[in-house]
Amino acid sequence: MDILIKLRVYLWLMVLSLWGLMIYQFLEEDGGSIPQPVHWMAARVSTSPPERTAPVVPLSQFFPKPPDDLKPEPAPPSSGLAQAQPRPSGPSLVEPSAVGPLPRPSPPVRPRTSPEQVPARPSAPPAEHAAPAPEGFSELRTRHFVVYSEGGEVMKGFPETIENLHANLMLDLAGFSPWARDERVTIWLFRSQDSYRKMTGRPAWSGGATSVKTRKIFLYESSESMGILAHELCHIYFDSFFLGGKSDPLWLSEGMATLVQTERGLAAPSWLRENMGLLRKGGGYALAELLSVENTTGADDASVRLWYSQAYSVVRFLIRAQYRSSFYRFCTHLRDGVPIHDALYRAYGMPFNRVKALEFAWRYDLQNRRL
């Protein structure tokens, strides 16, 4: 009798052991499929074929001159957007009571266009996408991008990274750029800042540039490339929504780009947390003044950073205060030329019938951390 009991115990132990081994192997295989973070700045891999099947095209044929809408922009804050100008000496924090008005010189940064000048829907990308890569560059095509990389190589992991970034941006911007499902954006990736500046004519502080009409992004390899790429991609996906009407105001464009860069590109500027703290203490600009700014040229670095942070915070509030469809309707009304107070009321209803009401609700939410 004792022998039968022992045999049963041994049998059950073997069954449990085999079951445990199967569970362990299953969990190990499942855990091994988790993708690891991509560090695409670490190495470069060649994508050039052994032999060229198309003639080498001089780069001058691609860039006889910079695109017409690639205009000089004001120097944005550093860390994640572009290289900033040196910060003037003085206190490291901007006290809420010490913030002065931002200058409003004309002309505006981004050219304003009328509906007669631009079609209601952006035109398809130029035919040069089908041309062979220019001399000194390699071409790489993904589902949503055409990448021209200087030096005949593409950075390791870069194709997967930009496709993941596109998917993240579409969580917020798919309704503003339905064309992005089927049409590509062109990325010109330069090896150095010198070659980037030589080709685009950009100033020394610039880390990236965008042509919304032709859907082109220009940037060079740096530690901030991913943040810059997320920021510039947002300008293409979001700003193109306004090409058929009135251009989106600067605060809306830059606020949305900073939001996408921070929350979808996972590249929050280092100065954002500090300035959000100032805003929660009641600092910043009167909202009517913030919304009226068309150019930040001439403002000191600390004031520009605070302006970007406040624009980011206001856009974030507008997106999350109600349904996302409310923000979409708000942008549609602005594109159609509706004044901002009417656009607010039509999209959000009461009490948002004045800019002052928006400012009160935004500051209350910010200080009480409702969102």
- Averaged pLDDT for residues 309-325: 92
Alpha carbon distances (Å) from 363 to 220, 221, 282, 348: 38, 38, 8, 17
The model's pTM is 0.68
pLDDT per residue over 41-75, tens digit each? 433 444 444 444 445 455 555 555 556 566 444 44
Short-list 222, 187, 186, CA closest to 207:
222
Q: Residue 183: which pLDDT band, with cuts at 50, 70 and 90? A: very high
CATH code of the region 117-244? 3.30.2010.30
Burial of 210 by CB count in 10 Å (0-12 exposed, 13-18 middle, 19+ buried)? buried
Residue with the bigger pLDDT between 99 and 210: it is 210
Mean pLDDT value across the chain: 75
Amino acid identity of residue 191, one-letter, is: R
**Which pLDDT score is estimated for 23?**
64
Radius of gyration of the chain measured on its C-alpha atoms: 26
Q: Residue 32: which pLDDT band, with cuts at 50, 70 and 90? A: very low
pLDDT at 102 over 70: no
**Which pLDDT score is estimated for 368?**
85
**Which pLDDT score is estimated for 215?**
94
At 143, give phi and psi (nearest 5°): -60, -35
Alpha carbon distances (Å) from 84 to 154, 264, 287, 357: 27, 23, 25, 34
pLDDT at 98 over 60: no
H helix intervals, the chain: 2-32, 59-62, 158-173, 193-200, 225-239, 250-263, 272-280, 287-292, 301-321, 324-335, 340-348, 355-368
Percent of the chain with pLDDT over 70: 68
At 46, give phi and psi (nearest 5°): -80, 135
Contact 308, 80 (CB under 8 A): no
> Quick one: tokens of 214?
């032709």
- Return the minimum-mean-pLDDT range out of 119-133, 237-251, 347-361: 119-133
**Which pLDDT score is estimated for 280?**
93
218 vs 147: CA distance, rounded Å: 10
Q: Residue 356: which pLDDT band, with cuts at 50, 70 and 90? A: very high
pLDDT at 25 over 60: no
| Segments making up each domain of the chain, as ranges | 117-244, 258-371
> Quick one: tokens of 297?
């040229």
Contact 264, 168 (CB under 8 A): yes
- Averaged pLDDT for residues 133-137: 80
